[in-house]
Homo-oligomer: A and B are copies of this chain.
Amino acid sequence: MTTPKTKTSTMELMLQIGKQAKDAARVMRNASDEQKSKALKKMAELLLESKQQIIEANKKDLQAAKEKKLEAPLIDRLTINENTINNMATGLCQIADMADPVGKRSETIIRPNGMMVAKMRVPIGVIGIIYESRPNVTIDAAALCIKSGNATILRGGSEAFHSNQALGEIILQGLRAAQLPEYAVQVVPTTDREAVGILVTMTDYVDVIVPRGGKGLIERLTNEASVPLIKHLDGNCHVFIDKDADIRKAHAIAINAKTYRYGICGTMETLLVHHEIAPAVLPDLCTDLVQKGVELRGCERTRNLVDHIQAAQETDWETEYLAPILAIRIVDSLDEALDHIAQYSSEHTESIVTENLNSALRFQKEVDSSSVYINLPTCFADGFEYGLGAEIGISTNRLHARGPVGLEGLTTEKWVLTGNGQLRGQ
């Protein structure tokens, strides 16, 4: 593998990768589940056997990262150790053992003329994955795409180049062992940034792009891409504590929603509280959140109720902090909470805490987000937690897949009609 330097050669390289992927997709579409699972299990075996080589390749990336003085969290995400490799291998086996989504037929409808109409689940085709520093995405994304019968083009971050190439070698050997096409998974062999711009506009060869990374990456791709993206930009998630909430549940859910992890997209960023229950809930809750190191920014009524809270600005309602900061607003009614969410939410994940059936049902029906919860913390927004087995990402698109996207989100449906010589108009 070579690393072309000029733009022309990057263009040629990417077009060649695209053509190879499209050809491989035709074979992958018809691969048996046995073959696909065999490839994944072989990869798991090879990963465990090749720990030393992978860690050596990763060291090159870590060395370069340290020379470039990359920040500690980035280096942390970049690092592969024995444990990372064990986890990748376990993940591969789990995905291998999942049910194959391909070929499933919906219930068949018999039309009056006797012809049978059904839908069949099929792979999307060629999926491009663009991601940043975590090299384990190379294995996870390849596994999900193989299992769902797609061909994949993987473009990881330049800082993980050597790690990703080493993992790509494992994937290649797994595909070979299962007699699947070598180009079913291609790790782009160049760090040229131009390759990304080409990948997201190759509409002849690439059916969908899944970007995984920070907001900067997603914004850039949204502007440049002509291939559809399965993506979310913001996770400005809300929890609403209704007047009929159970106070202990409300307390625990709010703490968990904010502090389970600060940096994930399902983290609660604004807490809405019904004014009737606010005096009973907020003082203790705020004390506990501050004790956990969370900075609070409240509306005026919140500040009248609890001391030492900064005044929230308009921008606070719009912000996904991804940090130990929480905006708090007291509202007069469920309707006011719904209005606030309609105005500020990023349509990712919202939750109501209530014991009132009507409020719960109204909230779940009327909130127009990809996930809407009753009595659960928003941090549950994750494919594993939903029982999808694994996720390729989370989508706030309105078309195709919304919320956590698993194997099924990497497939589509075609119509299959079966007749016996029926004619139209006769």
Contact = CB atoms under 8 A, between A and B. Distances in A.
B421 A368 contact: no
A418 interface: yes
Interface in A61-86: none
A228 interface: yes
Contact of A29 (B111, B115, B120, B368): B368
Interface stretch (A161-169, A296-304, A399-407): A399-407
A119 to B, nearest CB: 8
A249 interface: yes
Given A111-B385, A399-B412, A380 B417 contact: yes
A342 interface: yes
A364 B416 contact: yes
Contacts of A372: 414-417
The number of times this chain is found in the oligomer is: 2
Contact of A387 (B26, B111, B385, B387): B111
A385 B425 CA distance: 10
Given A117-B386, A414-B372, A377 B423 contact: yes
Interface string A235-259: 0000000000010110011001000
Contacts of A419: 373-376
Contacts of A387: 109, 111, 117
A29 to B, nearest CB: 7
Give the top 9 A-B pairs by smallest Cβ distance, nearest first: A376-B419, A249-B421, A399-B400, A371-B415, A256-B423, A403-B415, A374-B418, A400-B400, A373-B417
Contacts of A29: 366, 368
14 contacts: A122-B368, A124-B399, A248-B421, A252-B421, A253-B423, A256-B425, A256-B426, A360-B418, A370-B414, A375-B418, A380-B424, A402-B414, A402-B415, A403-B414
Nearest to A122: B368
B115 A376 contact: yes
Contacts of A124: 398-399
A369 B423 contact: no
Contact of A404 (B246, B377, B415, B423): B415
Q: Which of A228, A417, A419, A422 has its CB near the most chain B CB atoms (within 10 A)?
A: A417
Contacts of A364: 120, 416, 418
